[in-house]
Amino acid sequence: MIVSLFLYAFVASFTPGPNNIMAMTFANQFGLRKTMRFCLGVGTGFFVIILLCCYFNILLINFIPKIESIMAVIGGVYMFYLAFKIIRSKHQESDGSGDKHNSFIAGMLLQFINPKGILYGITVTSTFILTSHSSYFSLLSYSIVLAFIGFMGTFSWCLCGSLFKKMISKYRSQFNILMGLLLVYCGVSIVIG
């Protein structure tokens, strides 16, 4: 069961999604060091989501169907907004004025409107964790490990954005369009379920 848990966690964390696409775009535009705050925010928000899912799994399973469509629309609209901003952005040296979305708070809050992350949290806790663990220490430990895996997935995309900065800057507008369209795809898939 533990192998299945970690396989599921790695696949979910390292595949393209809003967190990873935003991290790659930010790292390419603002650099690895400045984007670490966004990645840490994603990891922290994800930790909070997993922890909440552990402790309130029954409540969430009963409540989520009632608010899932609202969360999906809010999350989708936010992703469309981010896609629009990415597609329209021009290359600029970071002077601090254009990177308000590249922050710890933005990374953390993104997790609370990201239905994919919340549903992942519910699935992983109800399927893998709560079936055999119930102590506070176990739930906290699993939450930390899963948040770390999520952080590493986001950080790996951030690292790629930073490492391929020269190549991406050569094709900046095409890269921005591609990243924006990937976010639109994420937003559409979340809205239509």
- Confidence (pLDDT) at 189: 74
**Residue 62 located in a structural domain:** yes
- Which of the four pLDDT bands, split at 50, 70 and 90, describes residue 81? confident
**Residue 89 located in a structural domain:** no
- State yes or no: pLDDT of 46 exceeds 90: yes
**Residue 106 located in a structural domain:** yes
- Which of the four pLDDT bands, split at 50, 70 and 90, describes residue 94? very low
**Residue 149 located in a structural domain:** yes
Most confident of 15-29, 146-160, 161-175: 146-160
**Residue 192 located in a structural domain:** no
> Which domain covers residue 66, as residue numbers?
2-72+99-165
In angstroms, the CA 119 to CA 72 distance is: 11
- Which of the four pLDDT bands, split at 50, 70 and 90, describes residue 140? very high
Rounded CA Rg of the chain: 17
**Residue 80 located in a structural domain:** no
Average the pLDDT over 122-141 and give the result: 82
Average the pLDDT over 50-60 and give the result: 78
- Confidence (pLDDT) at 105: 93
CA triple 55-66-51, angle to 5 deg:
15
**DSSP per-residue letters across 51-88:** HHHHHTHHHHHHHHHHHHHHHHHHHHHHHHHHHHHHHH
Specify the pTM.
Answer: 0.75
Higher pLDDT, 63 or 97: 63
Number of domains in the chain: 1
**Residue 23 located in a structural domain:** yes
Average the pLDDT over 138-157 and give the result: 94
**Residue 181 located in a structural domain:** no
In angstroms, the CA 162 to CA 15 distance is: 18
